Structure 1
Amino acid sequence: MSVLVVFDIDGTLTDTVSLHRKAFHEVLISFGLPGLGSEIKEYKHHTDSNIFKEIYTSFKSDWDEKVSKKFEEELAQNIKEKFQKGISEISGAKIFLEKLRSAMIPFAYATGSFYEPAFLKLKDCGLPLDVPLATASSFYERESIVQSAVEESSKKYSKSFSKTICFGDGIWDSKTARNLGLEFIGITEDPKLHSEWKDQNIHHVFRDYSDDLSVLSAVLSFRTGKRI
């Protein structure tokens, strides 16, 4: 059975959720817009491109893709400046990706972030940059982002995949996997979310990748069809 692993980035591989949210809020303000709402769920799609468009078009009438590109560039610059204080990977992420490669299990990235900020985070944390990276720069919906990552992976690895496993840290990640009929492994320190996922029969949830062998076993269980 040929398996592909698709990773979200913020909160799943890089410890950058708060940093990204703060930068996004600040750049919205610099565009003369209200900042982010207190609840991300109030937006139709949990992606940078959609959230920015929703907010922008609610207050201004001159929307076009050039505006979105300018916002992405300023967001990337704001985030890069925040890197001066240092950012971290989710514990064990780099080693875990190396273990996937050693096991010859292909992987890709699919993120609700714009491309440039996502690339900067991966690079700063020393994570592999030579794998497919699908982002909100090309799509508004998370489902389309994940589908793009799978399609680009088929081209890169010259194979089709009988099973795709998504890693994510948010409820939107598990919903996306469910909507696409894909498998899911959760990465979270939030006990409430951990419990919610368990109630949804998501059997593999980890705080991080510190116990890399257990996380790898979870991936392999999907390949063999044996639940652990």
Structure 2
Amino acid sequence: MLSKEQKIEKLEEFIKRDKFSEEAWNQRGLLPSSDEMSQELNAFFNTTAQKLIKNIEKNCASKTLQKTFNSQLATLEKDDFDTEENEFVCDLLYELASLVEVEISEDLNNWLYGSTLDTISYLQEMFESQKKVEIIEQVCTKCSSMIEFIIKDIDDHTAQTDWLVAECVTCLELNLIPTGKNIRLQNYGTYLVKEQLDGKDYNQHQAIQYLEHLKKSPK
């Protein structure tokens, strides 16, 4: 469990980050949205994080933090964004909720897919129309919490392996996640991407060596 000071520090780091940079879109295997849309979404998330900081400074209960998320979420019109933008929004909100240890999965699900019946219908349609989707679970090397992500758009003809250096949101440990070219990872908010290593420059041994170097480097 993070302390009050640690939560505020992580939220401040979140605010400083360009959450909708070209690199952030590329990591999801997507073309960037317009600058106007990206700026609008950055402003939304910064405002949300600032409100959470104020809640934490006042020692508000988890229910108050959850109400802050819900009130902010209510200001977003899902129809204003495409499917990939909506998924990006939900992933970042889940990340924020994880930082302050609040559970909002059901709220995000209702916003993204609608009622339970709508969700079942959507999942059935997705299952019937899309290729196999693989959910990956990787245990954090420090705290043993589960790092979860979904792999989409797999290119079966790609042999090259790329690597993500990911920070566990529970204990801040750096972990190495193997990926591949033309693979899109959808983050469930259990990790933060710190760096992406190109498989042309790093084999497995080199990637592990680089990870250990980062762990020893001063933060």
TM-score by length of 2: 0.32
| Bigger RCO of structures 1 and 2 (CA < 8 A, at least 6 apart) | 1
TM-score by length of 1: 0.32
